[in-house]
Amino acid sequence: MARTLKARRQAIARPAEPLEHGAVPWLLAVALVTAGPHVGHLPWWLSLVVGGALLWRAWLWQQARRLPPRWALSMLVVATLAAIGWQFRTLFGKDSGVALLVVFMALKPLEMTSRRDAMVIVMLGYFLLLTHYLYSQSIATGGWLLGAITLLSAALIRVHGGAQPIAAIARHAGLLLAQALPFMLILYLLFPRVSGPLWGLPEDAHSGLSGLSEQMAPGSISRLTQSAAIAFRSRFVGELPEKSDLYWRGPVFDDYDGLTWRASVTTSKPPPQAPTIDGIGPPYAYTNIIEAHNQRWLLALDVATTLPADASLAPSLQALAREPLRVRSRFSFASSVDYRANVSETPETLRQALALPPEINPRSRALAAGWASRPPAEIAAAALAMFRQQDFYYTLEAPLLGANAMDEFLFETRRGFCEHYASAFVFLMRAAGVPARVVAGYQGGELNPIDGYLIVRQSDAHAWAEIWLAGQGWVRFDPTAAVAPARIEQGIAASLPAGEALPIVIRLDNDWLRQLHNRWEAANNTWNQWVLGYNPQRQREVLSRFGWRDADWRRMSASLAVLCGVALLLVAVWTLPRRRAVDPIQRAWQKYCGQLQQRGIARAEWEGPGDFAQRVARERPELGELTREAAGYYAELRYGQRGGIGQNRAAALHRLQQCITRLPPRRRSST
Amino acid sequence: MPLANRQSPLSEILAAADQVILGKSRQTRLALCCLLAKGHLLIEDLPGVGKTTLAHTLARLLGFQFSRVQFTSDMLPADILGVSIFDRERSAFRFLPGPVFSQVLLADEINRATPKTQSALLEAMEEGQVTTEGETRPLPQPFFVIATQNPSNQIGTFPLPESQLDRFLLRIDLGYPDHNAERALLESGGRREQLPTLAARLAPAAFAALQQQVAAVHASPALLDYLQLLVEATRRDARLVHGLSPRAALSLLAAARAWAFTDGRQMVLPEDVQAVLPAVARHRLRLLSGSYADAEDIATLIHSIPVA
């Protein structure tokens, strides 16, 4: 016992196995591929350090030079850690943690001499891969990481398997991953899903989400149109409404302070009455898949008549979720584009829809006062006629406005985007005594013919107006349509002058480019719905499609284990060398060898019976004679001529089996 | 008991050879096996380790007619095969057979000759006959070539191409003698003087009979399974340029039969295959790095195939 311990200690103390020169580029590639994509989120100086360290190591490798001394490396590590601490003010948290890992990955190769170091790099690589998902979960990231994981496996094979052609290593790595594929699929389908992330995300996790905000000032919507990001996708069950009817309702603003529009805070008790809607037109049924925007509104088509259970219709007619949307979510609606809403509006709402900040914009007030005697519908028509007939321009490049913003816009600059026209229109209506409010949301959208989804982007963001007419309720007026009808009928790209800055995908003219783009977005949509959006509800849907309706997590875990076991068995049967059915001769010989193994001398798998018998005679003389006899029977039975020299095979087998019982009893091992 | 100590008709020959070539019984036995399996033998090692002595000793013990050619770079095919000269008395050409017309031809330092001369010899080895000046002349039976070559990193050598290496059934190296063998050598003087005193141990026709017995040694299906697994493993191995050819597999089986026979057995065991595998495979397996497989590569190969 003491001897084995000593031997083990010696084995540990043995110098580490050196790393082959030819394996180094593989590990540098691992470092590059796993740390590289983080360059986008790292401070620029850190990217320089990482790139420099890897280049340095590559140069040392190419020149076959010695690695830098330990003290220099220690100083480099301390300096970089201090710089990271200074940059992020902490060494914990997402960004600084990733920065640390990346630095480790870049500096470790500089002290990489043994196989053990290589293993550290590979393991670090696996860990670093995971961190990429903190920043992006796109198809591109998934594809990159799949490639990276193949490279990591290949590096492992290279480190342990010696020099081989690259194609052989790649094939080997690919084969290993292919064997993992069934497990991946089983785990993906059956691993019990939880809603929301498994662990708490940092506070800043949702800060970067773009979309409509809770207030509107000049410029806020035109800024949004600079983004081609998808706001939501919508799929209609039947036909699509006319493009000019596609008004997706977001926040409703009825409180104006002279610069900014907000939603008024209602404190009245009881809360405002529920909206009353008479849908006149036929309902359109559709499902919205809304990107996370950290707000509650669900961007239903004006106006929603049927809502999903976990949504409600606000008094201002928006569909609202219970909680702000922090993840991409699906909601199904039915809407009528032809409707009467809130014909009997509460006096408080109407009062709010007439409120104006005092004193500002005197010229606009005077203009409106001139219309005040007419009926409300005519007032609205007069305002629209003004926008249409006078030289107003629809442009993203609106001049800045001062304190009397409406006066400046209506009488001097006359250049503006939808938020300018909507707020000017509402201001004029209120000044003329007609209840009015601003509605923000999206207008239009673009049908992707590949998968039939209507894609609505941030660039489709829009603002329009509503006035309340007695007997008709809230009626939509879109002053932008009066200035630039093309915006509503053809979309934003057609309505703006060609020189103005818009995301390139919105202006794609080339047919096959557009086709390619459509395919890409359809693929993204599938990815979003089936990979990223594979939540408990989706999982239940999929399982019920396989006829499994009442899947709870216990049963899923159980079937997961069973299926993985079956897959493991199949892979094992497929990969392990086929063992022929063991015949009684082999079984007897294996049993004899097993007995010897228990007595401290084991036959190597590749050792033939004659050689083994000789070795036993040499190392354990007391077992030598019997083993030689057993090996002789076995050799004759298995390798000898059938029926040769009058041998009775059954008798020989019997004698071989008897050799097992003739073995001396096992001693209690005392050594 | 099949594995008990046995006497084979060849034990006496091997024992006598061991008296001359000290401490090299394994190589001597492999060389004998090569002749028993009707193959040609290639011995590769440094000058002065006893390659020629080994060849000469075997030839004398087996009672073969023996001739030796020292290959040089200015040697021509006719120097080996023989030439026709004009006989004035008979007014006709007369063929003077070259050294190839003997039972054991020791081709010393074969890789010093130019490829043209090498291939003349190798053709004779393959065909068992020589064709010169339009006339085909059979070689004596049996006909063996025992070629020696220097390690090819020595100056002034023309390495044998792979296709010609393949014609040698076995390739062995001798290596330095161990301490005791060398001391015995130093004490008793050189070995060459003993050679003329060696008497043949076999009657002339006896060797052919032994060869027939070797070819009849039993190879069971289980053994062929094992042999095929070994050969197939060389073809799958990504570190090798290519695996063993079917001809190499036949050579392996023939050599293993001879090895079993020299052990006095009538059946081939996996360890016979293992014993001859280095000599059969090392000059036929080339690594991607360009060098031929070494003993360790062959050991790795053997250890990767279980014996059932």
Mean pLDDT of A563-588: 77
Across A89-93, A561-565, B236-240, least confident range: A89-93
What is d(CA B227, CA B220) in angstroms, rounded to the nearest whole number? 11
pTM for the complete prediction?
0.47
Pick the more confident residue, A476 or A452.
A476
Within 8 A of A641 by CB-CB distance, chain B residues are: 218, 220, 266-267
Domains of chain B: 3-215 (3.40.50.300), 216-308 (1.10.8.80)
Q: Quick one: how far is CA B256 from the chain centroid?
A: 14
pLDDT at B4: 46
Whether residue A608 and residue B270 make contact (CB cut-off 8 A), yes or no, is yes
Residue of A nearest to B299 (CA): A606
Q: Render A221-280 in DSSP notation, one character per residue.
A: HHHHTT---EEEEEEESSPPPPGGG-EEEEEEE-EE-SS-EEPPPP--SSPPPPP-EEE-
Please state, in angstroms and rounded to a whole number, the distance separating the CA atoms of residues B208 and B210: 5
Least confident among A10-14, A485-489, A658-662: A10-14
Contact flag B307-A635 (C-beta cutoff 8 Å): no
Asked whether A476 and A247 are in contact (CB, 8 A), the reply is yes
- Comparing A156-160, B24-28, B75-79, B238-242, which segment has the lowest mean pLDDT? B238-242
Task: Estimate to the nearest angstrom the gap between the alpha carbon of A334 and the chain centroid.
Answer: 29
Residue A579: band (very low, low, confident or very high) from pLDDT cuts 50, 70, 90? low
Per the model's pLDDT, the better-predicted residue between B48 and A74 turns out to be A74
Tens of pLDDT, residue by residue over B48-77, are: 778 888 888 888 888 888 888 888 888 888
Q: Which of A95, A132, A254, A418 is catalytic?
A: A418
Say whether pLDDT at A645 is over 50.
no
Only one residue has tokens 């497929």, namely A574
pLDDT of residue B51: 82
Please check the confidence at residue A527 and state whether its pLDDT lies above 90.
no
- pLDDT of amino acid A671: 41
Nearest CA to CA, how far is B217 from chain A (Å)? 9
User: Angle at the Cα of A159 (from A154 to A163), degrees rounded to 5?
Assistant: 85
Q: What value does the mean pLDDT of chain B take?
A: 84
pLDDT band at A429 (very low <50, low <70, confident <90, very high): very high
**A580, two tokens:** 């022929």
Closest Cα in chain B to A590: B308
| Alpha helices in A353-446, H assignment, sequence order | 362-371, 376-389, 405-408, 418-431
Nearest CA in chain A to B218: A641
Amino acid in position A549: R
Q: In this complex, do A163 and B239 lie within 8 Å of one another by their Cβ atoms?
A: yes
> What residues does each domain of chain A span?
17-163, 215-494, 511-545, 583-661
Residue B287 has pLDDT above 90, yes or no: no
CA A551 – CA A542 distance, rounded (Å): 11
Higher pLDDT pick, A204 / B280 = B280
**pLDDT confidence band for B8 (50 / 70 / 90):** low
Determine the pLDDT at residue B137. 85
Region of A471 (left: φ > 0; alpha: ψ -120 to 50; beta: rest) is: left
Residue A655 has pLDDT above 50, yes or no: yes
pLDDT band at A204 (very low <50, low <70, confident <90, very high): very low
Buried b (16+ CB within 10 A) or exposed e, A457-477: bbbbbbbbbbbbbeeebbbbb
Task: Give the pLDDT of residue B58.
Answer: 87
